[in-house]
Structures are given as C-alpha cells and as structure tokens.
Structure 1
C-alpha cells in the first residue's frame, strides 16, 4: 500500500541566513521530491523568504518575526484555513507562536521542534510546556545536543531524536585545486587556510584572524560569508596589517569551488553549534579540518583522524594546528581522505530526509 503524502509546514522566524535556514530549504526540497506537500511560513523580510522563492519552494509571508499577539493571530488564521499534517518549528519565536496558535485552535496537529544549536534552554515551567507538551517530538542536529536536553533539561529521551544535517555527497567532491584557484583569481602556489561561515561572533573568526596573522607572509586566508561582525573583522585585519593576505568574497551561492581551493579548513566556533554544514561540506571535499569540541562537532571531526581539535578561543593553539597541517602534506592527505570517508558514511542528504520523513509519519500516526 502506498504511504499517504503529508502536508509539512515549516515555520522560521529568523531573519538571518546560515546553516539552519539552508537545512530548512534543502530538507523541504527533499520532501517535495518524495511527493509531499511542503509550505514554509516566515517573515517577508527574512532572507529565507527570497531564497525559497528563488528555488521555487512554496513560501508564505507572515508577520512572525517577533513574539507578540500579532504573530500568534497571523499563524492562527493561516492554520485555521489550511489542512496541515505536521508543523516543524525551528527558532524560539516561531516555536512559541505555533504552539500558542495551535492551542487556541484546539486542533490536534503535531508539532516537531528542531533544535539546530547548542545554546542552553531555560529551566522554567513555560519552556517545559513548550518542549514536552506543545511539541510532540524534538529533533536535534547532533547527538550531544540530544544528550544536553536529556541530561540538563530532563526532557523525555523517547521524544528526542538526533538527525544530523545531510549534505549533497554528489555535489561536494574534491576538485582540481589549480584550476579552481585560477578561476577564482587566487594565487596558485600560496598555502590557503579557509573558513565558510556566517560572520557571527561565535564562529570564532577573530581567533582565526589572530592565529593567521602570525603565519608566514606566503600564506593566504580565505573568509567566505557575510554577517554582523564583518566590519569588526575588517578593522581587525587592517589593524594587524594583513589585508593583502586575506580574501573576503562575501556570501556565495555555491561554496564548492572556494572549498576546493583551500589546503586547510578551519572553523574555531566557541558556542551554538550542532554539526555545522560547512564542516561536512569541507570533509566531502577531502579537506583536513581544524575545529573545536563545541556542540556536536566531535561527531564529525575526530582528533588526529579526520582533523585536529583545538581549545575554543585559543589563537595560539589554533595557530599551531594550522602550522602543523601546512607543514605536513602527508598529514593533510591522510586526515582529508579520512574526513571524506566519514562524511560519506554518516552525513548524506538522503539519510537525513528519510529519517525526518519517518519522524513526521510517526507523529502524525500517534497524535
């Protein structure tokens, strides 16, 4: 018997752009490919709204960017007039708005709450109601995030599943380094250390810049992305006198060639991580990784096997790790090959979509 198709509604209040928003869109596209109906609800000024439109994904603009009565009523009106099988919330604001809208309607539509980051969750009765009663299941993007909710918040383990973000293993592959560097206008012979991440404080760019400043003048730093700390980073780079050695191409719709141009990938985050998509993309490109034991990063990066793990906010340790990899081509090759094998085995896109589909079906059948 053919399984019933679902109408899956994603809500996202965030106006920003990063791995969380990219996962929503890629997951939505995967569900549509499997025959499900998917609708994204988000504020009209959110970056994800225009991105969904450009990708041909169904999206509806609603004023849900803030926790207020207007947002609750807007969601309530939309949900009252549309047949929905499951709601997948993604940020704190839309999770609260969706929970309150559904409670006011009295409809038994299950809510799945996806937790993308490792930021602590408050200990209070209202938050416990949101996660344990209003939400029918919690999805985390890493096992350590799941353990955090069980061990610290005392949430029921049977209602929490870790589903790491899946990456397109056919797209992210090693490439011809010389060819892509020529294409991008990057030096052919210089050692290149790179990062792909939204320019947010907790991604650790400032520590990477500090570490890089002490490296030989022949090295280059590639910072792909944009975000709120850009001006601060530019000021830091100027103050250190390394502007001629740092390339900042901004946001890129396709980061593949930029990854293929790198010798080493570094993401020195110090907070708020699940399993970052950029790390998985870099691993699939066969790059050795330098990162930190934050969030669920250790589920992807194993010290001395698929990369090097350094202490968060420690520029000296980060500098040493970069120097070690740049000075040892055999080690780069060994770690990069192992990283690609691990990403292929554990973090494929189809596995993520299949597991999420299973969760959606389970909650709709048991609501």
Structure 2
C-alpha cells in the first residue's frame, strides 16, 4: 500500500533547503508514495519546478505569524489522512502542531532541519520554543552530524529522535566542464584573463555569507609584492549588494572582482573557475552549492562551520578555514598553489553525496 506524505514548506523561494525539497519530492517513487505539497506563502518562485502531477496547496499569510492558514491546514489533514507530514524546518512544524491540535493525529511528524547556529537571539529563542513542541510522533532529520550534536546540546532535544541524512546533488547535471571553449567563453564574457586564477562564490548577498571578509581576503592576496593576482567571481544578489560594492571601491578591487548577478544556470561559472569558496560565519549547515561545485570537479575552500568538515577531506577536495579574512586569505593562497584532480573530486561526490543516494536513504526511512 502506498504511503501518503504531506510535504509542508514555509515557501518555495530560491534557496538550498527549498531546492532540496523540490528534488526530493520529484525523485520519490510515485508507485510507493502519494505526495501532496502545502506551502505557507504565496511567494514561491520554485513552484514551477515541482513535478506537474504533485497536488499543491498554497496558503497565504499577511505576516510571518499570521496563523489563519492553520484552519485550512487542519481541513487538509482530515481530508488526506497522511501517514507522514514532512516539515521543511521548524516554522512549518509549529503550524502543523497548531493545526493538528485536538484532531487526534497519529501520523509521523518529520522535521527536515537545515539550520545550525542561529544568526539572532530571537531566532534562537524561537527554535527553542519550537523544539519544546515535539511530541512522541516527531522525528528530526538533520543534514549533518555536527548539526545533530549541536542541536542536542543547545536545545536539549533527545538524541533518539534524530536520523542524519546528508544532502545530495544531481551528479548527471553537475558534471565536469564539457569543453575548454565554455571555460574560455565565460572568462572572456567577464573580462577575466584566460590564464588567471579564479575563485567563484555562489551565495545570496546576505550578512551571514560574509562577502566583505572575502573581499578583504582578496585585497590581502593581491596587494602582496610580486604576488599572482586572484580574481573573485560573485554570483548572486541581495540586501548587502551596496555594502559589497562600497567595499570593492574602498579596497580598489574593481580590476579583480566580477559581479555576475543572479544566474539560472551557474555551471559555466564553476567551469571557468579554479576553485569554489564559501566564507559564511553562520547559518550554513551542509552546503548544496559546495556539493554542486565539487560535482563539477571544483575544489572548495569552506569556512569550518556546520557540516563543512563532513564533506571536505583536506588536500583531496579542498581546505577549511575560519571566517576571518586573514584565515580565508591563507587558505585561498594554498588553493591557488595546489593541484587538485577534478575527476577524483567528482567521483568523491558521486560515491557519497549523490541525489540518488539521498533519495534512496529517505525512501528507506519513510518506509521504516
């Protein structure tokens, strides 16, 4: 008999957790599972990527804590009688607990957890409140072991309700560069010398992504006497764009920084680069962007937060650093002077962090 799964998301904006959810729903075997998606927002740019056969319910909210959708959600629960409700994060779980109150629910409640250290005290307090709403039907699925251990210690959540399943990526889409021509064309388009060293970052321009530290690290490297120049290719946009532009001007980095904006397909930017980097100081848990980059054969320089040390094998597929700009600069210089084998890097991702492997792990868990 098919299991009925209701996927409950806060919204489907463009983000790593949301992309994960879409991939998981689309890839699950529809012969084994009946799937319904409910989203607690009308801001859903990724909705058009959801498989057409999956029913979708959209519940609008006037503000974050507008709880009016709980009545529609309660009706949906009564109608479809799910075996499992899969919540993308703690906020949808909060809504689920309100909606299921007093209806005698015995379905499994799964929290797909993609956060570790919270950026503000308010968010930390909210997480603590949400975790206190856990009941005997609840199970938490973190995406890294470090995240699991931190959550148990920080919020006092029982260890026996956790099952870690790492993120995975579509290795058939994220491939090694198919031709030298693509690499050269992308560099020429962004006025980057063909023989220059290039580091690429794909991340929203938000405070925790720490782009200013990346720019300061670039300044340290490129102002050294007789040093090889490094080019920084930033793919993304967001609230910190002006701060980033002002820092570029202040440090006189215009010759070495390229702002590519938001891109529908970031593969050409990976293919034209020598290594990938994330300089986040918070939030990052198990970066899908880093996995995608490595699936294209690109080594990674990541700040040692979240589950970064669960995906990086030092010297094999990259290096770890602290979020301060001096540490970032030191590691970037090492990356510039180290030869990595792109075939080996890609094989590492194929064997450990493929989307198929991830979906298989969730399938086994849902059926257990």
TM-score (norm: length of structure 1)? 0.87
Which residue of structure 1 aligns with residue 90 of structure 2? 92
- For 2:184 and 2:350, how far apart are their aligned partners in 1? 28
Which residue of structure 1 aligns with residue 214 of structure 2? 208
Structure 1 residues 170 and 123: CA distance shift in structure 2, 3 A:
closer
Which residue of structure 1 aligns with residue 147 of structure 2? 145
Deviation at 1:73, TM superposition (A): 1.9
Matched, 1:24 2:35: no
Which residue of structure 2 aligns with residue 130 of structure 1? 133
Which residue of structure 2 aligns with residue 111 of structure 1? 109
Q: Which stretch shifts more, 237-246 or 286-295?
A: 237-246
Matched, 1:198 2:209: no
Which residue of structure 1 aligns with residue 121 of structure 2? none
Structure 1 residues 227 and 123: CA distance shift in structure 2, 3 A:
closer
Q: Conserved in 1, the CA contact under 8 Å of 2:11 and 2:42?
A: no
Secondary structure of the structure 1 residue equivalent to 2:280? coil
Which residue of structure 1 aligns with residue 332 of structure 2? 322
Q: Conserved in 2, the CA contact under 8 Å of 1:301 and 1:339?
A: no
Q: Conserved in 2, the CA contact under 8 Å of 1:172 and 1:281?
A: yes
Q: Which stretch shifts more, 258-267 or 64-73?
A: 64-73
Deviation at 1:203, TM superposition (A): 1.9
- For 2:344 and 2:325, how far apart are their aligned partners in 1? 26
Q: Conserved in 1, the CA contact under 8 Å of 2:90 and 2:127?
A: no
- For 2:148 and 2:265, how far apart are their aligned partners in 1? 30
Which residue of structure 2 aligns with residue 171 of structure 1? 173
Which residue of structure 2 aligns with residue 305 of structure 1? 316
Structure 1 residues 95 and 231: CA distance shift in structure 2, 3 A:
farther
Matched, 1:293 2:291: no
Secondary structure of the structure 2 residue equivalent to 1:50? coil
Q: Conserved in 2, the CA contact under 8 Å of 1:102 and 1:109?
A: no
**Residue number among 339, 345, 363 corresponding to 1:332 in the alignment:** 339
Q: Conserved in 1, the CA contact under 8 Å of 2:176 and 2:346?
A: no
Which residue of structure 2 aligns with residue 259 of structure 1? 270
Deviation at 1:360, TM superposition (A): 2.0
- For 1:204 and 1:141, how far apart are their aligned partners in 2? 22
Secondary structure of the structure 2 residue equivalent to 1:305? coil
Long gaps (5+) in structure 1: 363-367
Which residue of structure 1 aligns with residue 225 of structure 2? none
Secondary structure of the structure 2 residue equivalent to 1:341? helix
**Residue number among 335, 350, 353 corresponding to 2:356 in the alignment:** 350
Long gaps (5+) in structure 2: 119-123, 223-227
- For 1:124 and 1:346, how far apart are their aligned partners in 2? 30
Deviation at 1:234, TM superposition (A): 2.0
Structure 1 residues 124 and 93: CA distance shift in structure 2, 3 A:
closer
- For 1:342 and 1:276, how far apart are their aligned partners in 2? 16
Secondary structure of the structure 2 residue equivalent to 1:99? helix
TM-score (norm: length of structure 2)? 0.86
Deviation at 1:361, TM superposition (A): 2.3
- For 1:212 and 1:124, how far apart are their aligned partners in 2? 36
Deviation at 1:337, TM superposition (A): 5.0
Matched, 1:5 2:2: yes
Q: Conserved in 2, the CA contact under 8 Å of 1:288 and 1:306?
A: yes
Which residue of structure 2 aligns with residue 365 of structure 1? none
- For 2:290 and 2:126, how far apart are their aligned partners in 1? 31
Deviation at 1:172, TM superposition (A): 1.4
Q: What CA deviation, in whole Å up to 9, does each residue of 1:289-326 have, x standing for no partner?
A: 111210111000123332111112x1112112212222
- For 1:177 and 1:122, how far apart are their aligned partners in 2? 50
Q: How many residues align?
A: 351
